[in-house]
Amino acid sequence: MPYTFTLTTTIPASPEEIYQAWLDSLAHSEMTGGAANMSEQLGAEVSAWDGYIRGRNLELVSGARIVQSWRTSEFADEHGDSVITILLEEADEGTLLTLEHSNVPDEQRSYEEAGWQENYFEPMVAYFTGRKQGAAETSPAKAAPKTAPKRATKTARNAKRAAGAKSKRAAPRAKASPSKRKSKGRRKTRRAAAAVPTRKRVKPAKRKSGRGKRR
């Protein structure tokens, strides 16, 4: 006789992330490790685990609720489709996922005992944990503290010190004015002239007149 059971688990992801991954073929395949064909269209046919599971979307509420018919290749012809209802609620560590599996054949109790835990819950935790770690590793590094202003301040201080040191040096002597240079030149000329011995001019002797006195 068919029966119903409910399981709960916490997944380290937001409700919307789990909702999108469950209904995406590639993400569902990576999440479980088996090829899946999923859809976000209401009434669309779906499959998982390399065709081992087949079903249809019965109800979809974005980020909150997924209802699908669920039939495995182990169901006998007389068994009707089972139905899974996935409820997603925010929790402190991610999302509280509540799974209700109804109309399960009595001989398929392994789904409750370990099937969902081993084939979905544990792989989903590993999948979303890996995604978080990958995102953290590829995120940009924190910007290094700015040092440009400090360098600029240091440069300004050095320039100020250099300017102060320069101002303390003795100012160059002003060039002498033309009048002063001229007076200096005269003094130099006079000193030079005084240093050279002067020769006394010898008066030429008077020539005796060749003319005698008239007798």
Q: Where are the domains of the chain?
A: 3-137
95: exposed, middle or buried (C-beta count within 10 Å: 0-12, 13-18, 19+)? buried
pLDDT of residue 2: 87
Cβ partners under 8 Å of residue 178, min gap 6? none
199-203: list long-range contacts, CB under 8 Å, 24+ apart: none
- Could you tell me which residues are beta bridge partners of residue 84? 68, 101
Q: What is the mean pLDDT of residues 36-43?
A: 97
Give the β-pairing of 94-104 and 82-91. Answer: antiparallel
According to CATH, the superfamily of the domain at 3-137 is START domain (3.30.530.20)
Q: Are 83 and 75 within 8 A, CB to CB?
A: no
Q: How confident is the model at residue 158 (pLDDT cuts 50, 70, 90)?
A: low
Give CA–CA dist 70/3, Å, rounded: 14
pLDDT of residue 70: 96
Structure tokens at 5: 């059971």
Q: What is the mean pLDDT of residues 21-28?
A: 97
Helix (H) or strand (E) segment spanning residue 98:
strand 94-104
Q: How confident is the model at residue 152 (pLDDT cuts 50, 70, 90)?
A: very low
Closest CA to 95 of 31, 17, 20, 23: 17
| Of 60-64, 130-134, 158-162, 179-183, the least confident | 179-183
Give the β-pairing of 94-104 and 3-11. Answer: antiparallel
pLDDT of residue 214: 46
State yes or no: pLDDT of 205 exceeds 70.
no
Q: How confident is the model at residue 113 (pLDDT cuts 50, 70, 90)?
A: confident
Q: What is the mean pLDDT of residues 113-134?
A: 92
DSSP code for 172 = P
What's the sign of the alpha-carbon dihedral 77, 44, 91, 14? Answer: positive
How do residues 63-96 score in pLDDT, each as one tens digit? 999 999 999 999 998 999 999 999 999 998 899 9
Q: How confident is the model at residue 133 (pLDDT cuts 50, 70, 90)?
A: confident
